[in-house]
Structure 1
Amino acid sequence: MIGADVLALAHGIVGLATARNLTLATAESCTGGLVAAALTAIEGSSAAFDRGFVTYSNQAKQDLLGVSARSLDEHGAVSEVVAREMAEGARMRAGVDFAVSITGIAGPGGGSETKPVGLVHFALAGPKGVTHRAERFGAIGRDAVRAASVRVALELFEAAIKAEPGL
C-alpha cells in the first residue's frame, strides 16, 4: 500500500524536517498508522519523527489525544472539529513542531448521506495554529481511500515544513 512515490515523498519530508530540526507526529484513524509507516520506512527518520497515535476508536481519540466526548457526540468522529482536536492533541502530547491527523470513512460500508464513503478530514497542527482540509475521494475502495489519505497527509507535512524555514 506504500508505493515508491509515497516513499519518495516521505524521504523528502524526513530530509527537510531533519535539516530544519523539526519534529513530527501523526494521529491516525482510518489509515491505521500508514503515515507513520511511510515516514519510519526512511532511514534516519528518528531524527524527525517522534511518534504516531493510532486512534481508531472514539475512546482512543479521547484517551490518547484528548478529543472531547462532546465533539464526538455533536459532530461525529469524521468531522473537522475532531480532526482539529486530534492534531492539536497529538502535537501537545508529543511535544513536536507539527502533527497531522486523519479521520475518515474508508469503506466499503459506514457512510451516510451527509458523510459518504471516501470522506476524509485532515488537520495539521503547528506553531501557527491548526489548518483543516477535507477530501471526498468517493467510493474508490478501502485501500485506495487509505492510500490517497496517506499522500494528502504527507503533502500537508511537506507544505508546513517548507513554510517554516526559520524554526
Structure 2
Amino acid sequence: MTEKIGELATAASIRVAAAESLTGGQVCTALGATPGASDWFAGGVVAYTIETKNLVLGVPEDIDPCSAECARTMAAGVRDALEVDAAVATTGVGGPDPQDGHAPGTVFIGWARGPHAGAREFSFEGDDPERIVEATTHAALEMLAEVLEGASDVDDS
C-alpha cells in the first residue's frame, strides 16, 4: 500500500504527512520506510494526549479524543503545521479496556487534502491493542491512498 501512496503522491507532485495518536507512529514508520519517501513524505506528529493534540495540532481541549471531530482536526492540523497537500490522522481506543464510554476497537481516521477534511469511523473487533493498532495502521494507509486517488466515497464530514 505504501508504494501505491508513493506513486500517487509522486504523480500528483504532492507531499503527505500523518498525525497519530492510537497508532503511536506506526503510520509514519510505514510511510518513511517506503523507497523514495523523501520525495513525498514530509513527516508526522505523534500526539497521544489531548494536551499534545491541542498544543501541536489545534484540537480543542474539550473535544472527545475518540471522535470524528478529533480525527478531522488532527489531519487538518498536521496538514497545516507541515505545509503539505494531504494528511491522514488516527485516534481511538486500542484496548484492552473501554475508555470514556468507547469500546476497544472504536477508531476514527481523519483525512485532509487541500481545503477539505473529513473522518470515518471504524470498529475493529477484539480487545488486543496490538491487533487494533495494526488494523488501524492498515486502514489509515488505505484511506490515504483513497484521498490521493480522489475517491468519491471519501467525503467531507
State TM-score, norm by structure 2: 0.90
Within the alignment, does 1:16 sit opposite 2:8 as a pair? yes
Aligned residue in 2 for 1:93: 81
What RMSD over aligned residues (CA atoms) do the two structures have, in Å? Answer: 1.4
Within the alignment, does 1:69 sit opposite 2:61 as a pair? yes
State the alpha-carbon separation in 2 of the partners of residues 19 and 126 from structure 1: 15
- What runs of 5+ residues in structure 2 fail to find an aligned partner? 152-157
Which structure's residues are more often helix, by fraction?
1
1:115-154 counterparts in 2 under 5 A? 115-154=102-141
Aligned residue in 1 for 2:96: 108
Whether the 8 Å contact between 2:72 and 2:110 is mirrored in structure 1 is yes
SS of equivalent residue, structure 1 residue 11: helix
- What runs of 5+ residues in structure 1 fail to find an aligned partner? 1-8
The residue type equivalent to 1:62 in the other structure is: N
Shift of 1:15: 1.8
State the alpha-carbon separation in 2 of the partners of residues 70 and 104 from structure 1: 16
State TM-score, norm by structure 1: 0.85
Whether the 8 Å contact between 2:97 and 2:103 is mirrored in structure 1 is no
State the alpha-carbon separation in 2 of the partners of residues 15 and 68 from structure 1: 35
Shift of 1:128: 4.9
The residue type equivalent to 1:83 in the other structure is: A
State the alpha-carbon separation in 2 of the partners of residues 127 and 30 from structure 1: 24
Seq. identity, %: 33
The residue type equivalent to 2:17 in the other structure is: A
Q: Deviations over 1:113-140 (max 9, x none)?
A: x410110011101125112110010224
SS of equivalent residue, structure 1 residue 25: strand
Within the alignment, does 1:83 sit opposite 2:75 as a pair? no
Give the total of aligned pairs: 151
SS of equivalent residue, structure 2 residue 62: helix
